[in-house]
Amino acid sequence: MQSLRFTALENLAGVDLKIKPEQLNGKITEVFGSNVFTGKVLRENLSDEAYKSLMNSIKSGSKIERKMADQIAAGLKQWAMKKGVTHFTHWFQPLTGTTAEKHDSFFTIKSDGSAIETFDGDALVQQEPDASSFPSGGLRATFEARGYTAWDPSSPAFIIEQGYGKTLCIPTIFVSYTGESLDYKAPLLKALSSLDKAAVDVCNYFDKNVTKVTATLGWEQEYFLVDENMANARPDLIMCGRTVVGHAPSKGQQLEDHYFGSIPERAYAFMRDFEEESYKLGIPLRTRHNEVAPSQFECAPIFEEVNIAVDHNSLLMDVMTKVAKRHKLKVLLHEKPFAGINGSGKHNNWSMATDTGVNLLAPGKTPKTNLMFLTFFVNTIKAVHDYADLLRAAIASPSNDFRLGANEAPPAIISVFVGKYLSEVLQEVKTRVSNKFDEQDEAILKLDLHRHIPELLLDNTDRNRTSPFAFTGNKFEFRAVGSSANCASAMTILNTIMAQTLSNFKKDVDSLIEKGEKKEIAIMQTLRKYIVDSEKVLFEGDGYSEEWEAEAAKRGLPNVKTTPHALDAMVTPKATKLFADTGVYNEKELHARHEILLEDYVKKVQIEARVIGDLATNTILPAAISYQNDLIANIRGLKEIGLGEGAVKAQKQIAEKIAEHINVISENVQAMIEARKVVNKLTDSRQKAIEYCEKIKPYFDVIRYHSDKLEFLVDDKKWALPKYRELLFLR
Ligand code: ADP
Ligand code: MG
Whether 126 is in the pocket of ligand 1, judged by its Cβ within 6 Å, is: no
- 262 shares its domain with 403: yes
* 220 CA → ligand 2 middle, Å: 7
- 73 shares its domain with 111: yes
Q: Ligand 1, atom 17: nearest CA belongs to which residue?
A: 218
Residue 370's domain comprises 192-585
Is residue 314 included in any domain, yes or no? yes
State pLDDT tens for residues 71-117: 999 999 999 999 999 999 999 998 877 788 777 888 888 788 888 88
User: Above 70 in pLDDT, residue 447?
Assistant: no
Is residue 303 included in any domain, yes or no? yes
**Tally of domains in the chain:** 3
* 244 CA → ligand 2 middle, Å: 29
The Cβ of residue 82 has, within 10 Å, a number of other Cβ atoms equal to: 10
The SS3 of residue 294 is: coil
In CATH, what number is assigned to the domain containing residue 659?
1.20.120.1560
Whether 246 is in the pocket of ligand 1, judged by its Cβ within 6 Å, is: no
- 262 shares its domain with 408: yes
Is residue 2 included in any domain, yes or no? no
Alpha-carbon 454 to chain mean position: 30
User: Above 60 in pLDDT, residue 145?
Assistant: no
- 481 shares its domain with 612: no
Beta bridge partners of 166: 161
Q: Are 370 and 450 in contact (CB under 8 A)?
A: yes
The Cβ of residue 318 has, within 10 Å, a number of other Cβ atoms equal to: 17
Is residue 11 included in any domain, yes or no? no
What confidence score (pLDDT) does residue 439 get? Answer: 52
What confidence score (pLDDT) does residue 28 get? Answer: 83
Out of 183, 218, 240, pick the residue that ends a domain. Answer: 183
State pLDDT tens for residues 685-710: 999 999 999 999 999 999 999 999 99
Give the mutation target among 310, 349, 358 for probing the ligand 1 site: most ligand atoms within 8 A of CB: 349
Whether 475 is in the pocket of ligand 1, judged by its Cβ within 6 Å, is: yes
Whether 195 is in the pocket of ligand 1, judged by its Cβ within 6 Å, is: no
* 346 CA → ligand 1 middle, Å: 12
Q: Ligand 1, atom 3: nearest CA belongs to which residue?
A: 472
Whether 491 is in the pocket of ligand 1, judged by its Cβ within 6 Å, is: no
Banded pLDDT at 23 (limits 50, 70, 90): low
Is residue 1 included in any domain, yes or no? no
Helices (H) and strands (E) in the chain, counts: 29, 17
The rounded distance, in Å, linking the Cα atoms of 591 and 295 is 40
Whether 358 is in the pocket of ligand 1, judged by its Cβ within 6 Å, is: no
- 230 shares its domain with 375: yes
List Cβ neighbours of 295 (8 Å cut-off, separation of 6 or more): 224, 225, 226, 258, 267, 727, 728, 729
| Max intra-chain CA distance, the chain | 106
State pLDDT tens for residues 24-80: 667 888 889 999 999 889 999 999 999 999 998 888 778 888 889 999 999 999 999
Q: What is the mean pLDDT of residues 506-534?
A: 94
* 380 CA → ligand 2 middle, Å: 18
User: Above 60 in pLDDT, residue 316?
Assistant: yes
State pLDDT tens for residues 641-669: 999 899 999 999 999 999 999 999 999 99
Whether 471 is in the pocket of ligand 1, judged by its Cβ within 6 Å, is: no
- 320 shares its domain with 174: no
Whether 463 is in the pocket of ligand 1, judged by its Cβ within 6 Å, is: no
* 145 CA → ligand 2 middle, Å: 43
* 378 CA → ligand 2 middle, Å: 21
Counting atoms of ligand 1 from 1, which one is nearest the CA of 361? 23
What confidence score (pLDDT) does residue 19 get? Answer: 61
Whether 699 is in the pocket of ligand 1, judged by its Cβ within 6 Å, is: no
User: Above 90 in pLDDT, residue 584?
Assistant: yes
User: Above 50 in pLDDT, residue 144?
Assistant: no
Give the mutation target among 303, 352, 361 for probing the ligand 1 site: most ligand atoms within 8 A of CB: 303
- 63 shares its domain with 145: yes
H/E stretch holding 200: helix 185-203
Q: Ligand 1, atom 14: nearest CA belongs to which residue?
A: 218
The rounded distance, in Å, linking the Cα atoms of 316 and 322 is 10
The rounded distance, in Å, linking the Cα atoms of 493 and 499 is 10
Higher-confidence position of 571 and 138: 571
Out of 183, 214, 241, pick the residue that ends a domain. Answer: 183
Q: Ligand 1, atom 23: nearest CA belongs to which residue?
A: 351
Is residue 118 included in any domain, yes or no? yes
Q: What is the mean pLDDT of residues 699-725?
A: 96
State pLDDT tens for residues 188-215: 999 999 999 999 999 999 999 999 999 9
Out of 556, 585, 614, pick the residue that ends a domain. Answer: 585
- 164 shares its domain with 225: no
State pLDDT tens for residues 225-243: 999 999 999 999 999 999 9
Is residue 684 included in any domain, yes or no? yes
State pLDDT tens for residues 148-174: 889 999 999 999 998 878 999 999 999
Instruction: Read off the pTM.
Output: 0.94
Q: What is the mean pLDDT of residues 122-136?
A: 74
Banded pLDDT at 441 (limits 50, 70, 90): low
Give the number of the ligand closest to the Cα of residue 462: 1
- 207 shares its domain with 321: yes
What confidence score (pLDDT) does residue 309 get? Answer: 98
Q: Are 243 and 339 in contact (CB under 8 A)?
A: yes
- 337 shares its domain with 369: yes
Banded pLDDT at 461 (limits 50, 70, 90): very low
The rounded distance, in Å, linking the Cα atoms of 128 and 688 is 33
Q: DSSP letters of 538-567?
A: B--S-TTSHHHHHHHHHHT--B--SHHHHG
Counting atoms of ligand 1 from 1, which one is nearest the CA of 353? 23
- 527 shares its domain with 435: yes
Whether 216 is in the pocket of ligand 1, judged by its Cβ within 6 Å, is: yes
Give the number of the ligand closest to the Cα of residue 285: 1
What confidence score (pLDDT) does residue 368 get? Answer: 67
Banded pLDDT at 574 (limits 50, 70, 90): very high
- Helices 185-203 and 367-386 pack at an angle, to 10 degrees, of 140
- 54 shares its domain with 118: yes
In CATH, what number is assigned to the domain containing residue 383?
3.30.590.10
Higher-confidence position of 567 and 20: 567
Q: What is the mean pLDDT of residues 487-502?
A: 98
Beta bridge partners of 159: 168
Whether 478 is in the pocket of ligand 1, judged by its Cβ within 6 Å, is: no
Whether 359 is in the pocket of ligand 1, judged by its Cβ within 6 Å, is: yes
Q: What is the mean pLDDT of residues 388-410?
A: 86
The rounded distance, in Å, linking the Cα atoms of 328 and 485 is 24
The CA dihedral of 242, 244, 246, 250, to the nearest 10 degrees, is 50
CB contact burial 210-242 (16+ within 10 A = b; e otherwise):
beebbbbbbbbbbbbbbbbbbbbbbbbbeebbb
Is residue 394 included in any domain, yes or no? yes
Average pLDDT of the chain is 89
Whether 217 is in the pocket of ligand 1, judged by its Cβ within 6 Å, is: yes
In CATH, what number is assigned to the domain containing residue 84?
3.10.20.70
The rounded distance, in Å, linking the Cα atoms of 584 and 671 is 44
Q: Are 262 and 34 in contact (CB under 8 A)?
A: no
* 556 CA → ligand 2 middle, Å: 28
